[in-house]
Amino acid sequence: MLSTVNAIVYIFGGCCTNVLTLEGIIDQQTNRVGRLLTFCQFLVATIEGLYSFLDYNSGIPRLKTRKIPLKIYVLMVILYYTSSVTNNTAFQYGISVPLHIVFRCSGTVITMIIGWLLAGKRYSVMQVFSAFLMTFGAMVTTLFKDSEFSKQIPLREILGNSSSSADSKFLIGISMLFISSITSSTLSICNEWSYRKYGKHWKESVFYTHALALPIFLLHYKELYKQFWSLVSQKSTAITLLGHTFRLSKLKLLAANVITQQICIRGVNLLACYTSAVTLSTVLLARKVISLLLSVHLFGGTFSTTGYVGIIIVLLGTLIYVLSPNDREAESKSKKETM
């Protein structure tokens, strides 16, 4: 119970702060530094893991014996890398930010579908209802955070270019978002399965999934070099907190982003050890809405009444999910009904 509470604290503390530092880094001049951010996060996670998973007793440092087979980690790396690349590349194919966020808000529902297809999971009616309710609330919050529902955001504002819907370039972007959502949800199911079969070795999992993916970044060293100097040359970012405004350089925000990412990763993987993939996705969805709310207040934005209604819907869906039967109870009930 205490580990679960710690995980939730790490997620809402680390992940929410991480999103805020990300928003402080990204602007019109630095909107293409995603690969640099990912590389720094992977590098720090690998260095931190080396301290725990190198054996120095034999004279020559070598990796300790793994608890989870290497082939499982290779599969996880493929899923994670594919999800990250397609997620970040979608913007280059006519995908707007609102549409991108709406797709990511569907993570809980997609995780349920993947769990049903690949793992034969069964979910209660209340769980399914709460998942759709949370997804709907997150979409409302995202699309109407700046304006009321009565103003009706035009379709072209959601889709980006009004003519893109019939364009093959736009369809490629939609396909990338779909692939990203599928691979991300599949990774969650894979993590849940590996923890159940091989034990809750989440620290080892974090180390190998980051370390094995690190060499891939060597293929993009020129891009990383350009992104680094692009970040260094930018002006500092103004952040307002509790009525006080202060400025932070992009490098300080990058350091804060990497540190908070490690806290976030710790929380996500720790929670994955003690809950199902759907429960994890539910917590992350609630975290995303809270991050959006904090972002508006810290960066001087506005938030509509409709946006607050969306947040209430998400919280209501979360409450229903918490009070509904868990995955195992639903599966047990389903088996009894078929006997």
pLDDT in tens, 237-273: 766 665 667 777 888 888 998 999 889 888 888 888 8
Residue 82 has a pLDDT of 86
pLDDT in tens, 153-172: 554 554 455 454 446 777 88
**Nearby residues of 291 by Cβ (< 8 Å), 6 or more positions away:** 15, 16, 19, 20
Residue 301 has a pLDDT of 59
More confident residue, 114 or 329: 114
pLDDT in tens, 179-223: 988 998 898 889 888 988 998 888 898 899 899 989 988 888 898
> How far, in Å, CA of 154 to CA of 157, rounded?
5
pLDDT band for position 29 (50/70/90)? low
- Each residue of 112-126: b (16+ CB within 10 Å) or e? bebbeeeeebbbbee
| Assigned token pair, 108 | 């809980």
**Nearby residues of 271 by Cβ (< 8 Å), 6 or more positions away:** 4, 7, 8, 11, 279, 280, 283
How many domains does the chain contain in total?
1
Q: Are 111 and 189 in contact (CB under 8 A)?
A: yes
Whether 58 has a pLDDT exceeding 80, the answer reads no
Whether 333 has a pLDDT exceeding 70, the answer reads no
Residue 59 has a pLDDT of 75
- Residue-range definition of the domain harbouring residue 205: 2-338
Residue 69 has a pLDDT of 92
pLDDT band for position 335 (50/70/90)? very low
**Nearby residues of 308 by Cβ (< 8 Å), 6 or more positions away:** none
Nearest to 120 by CA among 330, 339, 336, 309: 330
- Strands (E) across 43-186 are located at 54-55, 62-63
| Assigned token pair, 169 | 């370039």
pLDDT band for position 92 (50/70/90)? low
User: In sequence order, what DSSP letters do the residues of 280-310 get, joined into one string?
Assistant: HHHHHHHHHHHHHHHHHHHTT----HHHHHH
Whether 11 has a pLDDT exceeding 70, the answer reads yes
pTM for the full predicted model: 0.73
Alpha-helix runs per DSSP H in 199-220: 202-211
Q: What's the DSSP call for residue 153?
A: -
